Every structure is written in structure tokens, then in C-alpha cells.
Amino acid sequence: MKKYLQNVDLLQIWNIIKGDELSHTNSTVWLTLADKAMKGAFNDKPVFTGLCHIMVQAYLRKEKDMGKQNSKYSEEFTNFLVILASFSNQALDLFRQNLEGRSIQNIRRLRKNEIDCLTDPELCYENVARFKRLIDTLRYDGPITAMTDNTKLKSGLYYSSQFGCIIGSTLNYNETKITNYDQIPQVINKIKSEKAFASSIPLPKFPPVVIALIPNNGSDKTSTIADFHRELLINIAPQLNLHILSIGSDGALVEFQAQTIIQSMATNKRLQMIDTRFEVTFSCPILPSIGPVVRVQDLKHAKKTCRNIIMSGARVLSLGRSTARFDHFLHISQRPDSIMYKQDVVKLDRQDDGAAYRAFCSSNLRNVYLQHLENPEDEEMCRFFVLLFIFGELIDCYLNRQISPLERIKMAMTSFFFLRFWCQHILNLSENYPDFISLKKNFLADQSYSILTSLAESMILLVKAHREYYSSVPLLPWMHGSEAVEHFFGIARQINSDFTYAELIHLIPKIA
């Protein structure tokens, strides 16, 4: 009977004769599922396919009174279980109670043996060598971008059997090393008394490989970050012949100052662009076995900085006989054809990338120009247009993917000279009218001015470096900066919105 009931039609007739509706319904589900699977309906569902495979394995092992050891899991299903475990161990247990899957102990063992797992969260030779092995596999010998960034962490301490220490604090390895389990409470009490919980991370990162996760106590020092850069550029990268072309950051003061230290370090050779007619001197160090190293600020952060300069109202940006102010953006946002939203101006989010894009895009510039045409006697919109255009040109010379290197140079230098002439103009006025105008009140903040002019310098040096050292590699300026690190943290927060230092280390193999 069992042999004949394998026929779908005969089974359906048999169920009707028996009048077993529930059995008929269940059989139909499984037959339909099997039929669709045979026709490839689940070929694009590798996690579901992996679950089905392990369910079949578990049932066959149960029939033979065998354990579940050494069951074969697909890579996609394993990745699903690892991410589920990162959400919650209880969620993984609930899943395993109703279906099948790896235990949390098994997942921890996988993490420990994972080839992409950091063997040491500090900046060390082996972590960088892992990246070198990757690019050697790809036979790539071109320029590399290095990046640093910070992110907030949830305070938490965790004993790592992999590292043999308490992780999640800012104390060094020797101070948190555990030789026997009785030391764990003592070390934890020491950490708590010194308030050394990790709260942010400087992350040097070569996409897609994280080479260090270094906790700090919420305050960075320029000298500390510069030391990390020196360790990478002087002690590690030359041994591996890694051609690090740029060091990117988001423009934070201490990170920018650390970049400046590296940019001005004494070397036998320097990549230079000098024009004595206009008193322009751009240069960066050329390091042995590495090549030129250029500092680059993150472009989207720079764009938000440009927008916030105008929006903040902390300084009255003087442009001839007019100023650039918050209410100019407000008027433009109220136009019926405005591309800007009300929330781009009123109760704005200063970290909104979309709002920063809309502020300097061509459609918004067009509206500013139309606003000026409607009232040609008002010069303020004309000068406001010029300022938006200059800021937009400087960022666009990096982000635009359709223009030549020569055009990028023109855009960068146009912005550079405008900023320099504007600075000199305010300086001249301050000498004549010291009671009414000054650089501190009527011009960009020193940090903002330095970041924007450094972007122009970096573009020139990147073009020159590609021409002289990497002529066979296309110039991709939008790949420099720190955006890749931002994405790394963003994906990590999609998986776990509030992670500790230990949890972030475990997430690395599934993100980077």
C-alpha cells in the first residue's frame, strides 16, 4: 500500500475515500512543498534550504539512534544562526526548540576558529598581514585607503577565553590578563574603580578588513592617534609592501591634528606641488616601500560641516555687503518648487546626509538663482548662491564620478582660492574696522577653514600620486575618507543596536 500511495493522485483518492480531511490537508502541504522544491522555487532561499537539509539529517539520525554531532550545516544557514545568536541567546534557543540549529557553544567555537576573527584587537602586524594575504590572493598591488573613526559602545565587561583577559575596558592587556579564574572579580573591581569602560573606538580599517578595535575612555589625544598612524606606516606597512595612499577621518579635531602630524613628518622624499606665483605649497611624505601618503577628510562630513556653518548662526558670514544666514535657506525651503523640506531647516538634524545633499545640489542652486532674479536689487541671494556653489564644487570634485582629473583640479582650486581670498578680505576689513568685523565673528571657524582647504590640497596630491605612482590604476576619489567605516558601524547597529566591545568583535566576521 505504501508503495502505491507514493503516487500523488492515488494518495489524494485514498485520503478522500478515508475522509481524513486533516491528513489530506497535511499531505497536500508536503506534496506541494516537495513539488515546488523540485521545480527550483527555493533556489534563491539558501537559508530555508539549509534548514530543510538539517531537519532531514536530524530525523534520519533520530531513526538510527544517533546523536547530532558532526551534522553538516550550510554556510548560509550557519550565518543566519550566528546573526540570530547576536540578537539574543534566548531567540536562538527558542528557534532550536522548535526546529534545528547550532548550539550557542558551537557558535562560540566557530567564532574562535574563524579565520577572519581578530587574533588581537590591538593594532598589530598579524592583523595587517591578514589583509596583505587577501590582496595577494587577488593579485592586487595598487593603492590602499586607511581609515579611522569612533563609535559609541554600551558599557560592559566580558572575559574572553580567546584572548585570556577581560575585554571592554581601556586598560592594557597586561593589566586585564587572567591567569586563573579567581582573578576575574579582582580585575573587574579594578576596572570599575578607574571608570575605564569602553565608550568609543578609533578604528583603522582597510576595507573590507578590520585591523584594530581599540577602546578608549571617551577622550582621544592627538599624540595617541598619531602614534597609531606611525606604527602602521613606519613599523608594519613597509614590511608588507602595502601602498597606503591615504589616511581618512571624519574631520574630528584630534584626528585632523594627528593627520597633520603625519602629513608634515620629516622624510627624505616628498610629493609636492609648489607654485610661487600664488604662494601655493602642497606636499605629503613619501615613505619607503609605501609611497606617498595623503590625508583626506570624509566628504559627507565635510558637506554637513558646510551646511551647518551657515545654519548655526554662531558667526555672521560676511560676503561683501551681504551675509549668508539661516533665513536664506528658510526662504528657499518655502518656495513651491523647493527641493528642500521644512525639516531641513526648522528643527533640523545636523547629521542628516540627505539634507546636506539637497542644500548644495543643482536644483537648489537653481532656486536660489531664481529667487535672485525675482528680486534683482537684493544682492544677498546672489552672494548666497556663490557661497553654496563654492562649497558644492569642493565636495563634488570628489563625489562626482563623471568628470576628468583635470576638471577635479579646476573645481578644487577654484574653491581653494575663493576661501583664501575671502579670508584675506575679512582680515583686511578687520584691520580697518576692528570694532565691527573680525575673523572670529565673520569668517569660518579655524577648524572648518583648515578642513576645507585641506580637501583641495588632498585632491591635487591624489591626482599627482596617481599620475606618478599608480598610472595604471583609475583615480576614485570618492573611495577615500571614512565612509566605509561608517557603513561598518551602521551594519553592526542593524544587527545589534547597542553593542558592547566584546559583541562588536564577534560581529566582525559577518560584516567586514
SS (H, E, C) 223-262: HHHHHHHHHHHHHHHHHHCCCEEEEEECCCHHHHHHHHHH
**60 or 18: whose pLDDT is higher?**
60
Say how many domains are in the chain: 3
Q: Which three cell numbers stand for residue 406?
A: 583635470
Checking if the pLDDT of 455 tops 90, the result is yes
Question: Is the pLDDT confidence value at 202 over 50?
Answer: no
Cβ contacts of 132 within 8 Å, gap of 6 or more: 240, 242
The 10s digit of each residue's pLDDT in 342-371 is: 888 988 888 888 899 999 999 999 999 998
**Is 33 within a domain?**
yes
pLDDT score of 483: 81
Which has more pLDDT, 99 or 6?
Answer: 99
What whole-number percentage of the chain has pLDDT above 70?
78
Residues 501 and 467 in one domain: no
Cα–Cα nearest to 462, from 483, 477, 478: 477
Return the pLDDT at 208: 55
Residues 58 and 134 grouped into a single domain = no
pLDDT at 39: 85
Q: What is the CATH number of the domain that holds 290?
A: 3.30.420
- Tell me which range, 37-41, 50-54, 423-427, 474-478, is most confidently predicted by mean pLDDT: 423-427
Q: Are residues 498 and 465 in the same domain?
A: no
The highest-confidence range among 29-38, 139-148, 212-221, by mean pLDDT, is: 139-148
Q: What is the DSSP letter of 197?
A: B
Residue 144's DSSP bridge partners are 244
Cβ neighbour number for residue 136 with a 10 Å cutoff:
12
pLDDT given for residue 233 in this prediction: 92
User: Do 282 and 321 reside in the same domain of the chain?
Assistant: no
- Which DSSP helix (H) or strand (E) runs through 412? helix 405-432
Mean pLDDT across the chain, nearest whole number?
81
Name the more confident of 440 and 22. 440
Task: Specify the DSSP class assigned to residue 375.
Answer: S
pLDDT category at 458 given cuts 50, 70, 90 is very high
Residues 336, 427, single domain; the answer is yes
214-218, 362-366, 436-440, range with the lowest pLDDT = 214-218
In this predicted model, what pLDDT tens digit does every residue of 317-348 receive, in sequence order? 998 888 898 889 999 999 999 999 988 898 88
**Residue 205 grid cell:** 580599517
pLDDT at 363: 93
- What's the CA gap between 474 and 325, in Å, rounded? 40
Q: Categorize the per-residue pLDDT at 201 as very low, low, confident or very high, splitting at 50, 70 and 90.
A: very low
273 sits in which H/E element: strand 269-275
Amino acid at 492: A
pLDDT tens digit string along 120-158?
667 778 778 878 887 887 788 888 888 887 776 666 555
The verdict on residue 343 lying in a domain is yes
Least confident segment among 91-95, 113-117, 395-399: 113-117
In a domain, 190, yes or no: no
What's residue 30's pLDDT? 76
Does some domain include residue 370? yes
Of 81, 113, 145, the residue at which a domain comes to its end is 113
How are beta strands 158-160 and 165-167 bridged, if at all? Answer: antiparallel
pLDDT at 195: 30
Q: Which helix (H) or strand (E) holds 395?
A: helix 380-399
Structure confidence at residue 149 (pLDDT): 79
Contact between residue 10 and residue 31 where contact means Cβ atoms under 8 Å apart: no
3-state per-residue secondary structure call for 299-319: HHHHHHHHHHHHHHCCCCEEE
Same domain, 466 and 320: yes
In this prediction, residue 193 carries a pLDDT of: 35
Q: What pLDDT band is residue 165 in, cutting at 50, 70 and 90? A: low
C-alpha to C-alpha distances, 115 to 137, 160, 423, nearest whole angstrom: 15, 17, 53
Rounded distance between C-alpha atoms, residue 92 and residue 37, angstroms: 26
- Asked whether residue 181 is assigned to any structural domain, the reply reads no
Together in a domain, 442 and 486:
no
The share of the chain scoring above pLDDT 90, in percent, equals 34
Is 184 domain-assigned?
A: no
Q: What does the block give as the cell for 338?
A: 523647493
Task: Please indicate, yes or no, whether residues 336 and 207 belong to a single structural domain of this protein.
Answer: no
Is position 377 within any domain?
yes
The predicted structure's pLDDT at residue 453? 96
Last residue within a domain, chosen from 61, 79, 113: 113
Is it the case that residue 75 has pLDDT exceeding 60? yes
Which of residues 491 and 424 earns the better pLDDT score? 424
Residue 185: inside a domain? no
Domain match, 372 and 410 both: yes
Beta bridge partners of 281: 274
The lowest-confidence range among 137-141, 298-302, 409-413, 508-512 is 508-512
Cα–Cα distance for residue pair 444/411, rounded to 1 Å: 20
* pLDDT over threshold 50, residue 27: yes
Residue 447, burial from CB neighbour count under 10 angstroms (0-12, 13-18, 19+): middle
Distances (CA, A) of 473 to 68, 309, 396: 51, 36, 21
Residues 268 and 208 in one domain: yes
Q: What is the pLDDT of residue 164?
A: 61
Cβ neighbours, 10 Å, residue 404: 10
**Coil vs helix vs strand at 448:** helix
At 203 the pLDDT is: 33
Residue where a domain stops, chosen among 59, 80, 113: 113
Say if residue 369 is in the same domain as residue 344: yes
Indicate if the pLDDT at residue 179 is higher than 70.
no
- Which residues span the domain enclosing 369? 299-472
Looking at the structure, tell me whether residues 286 and 413 fall in a common domain.
no
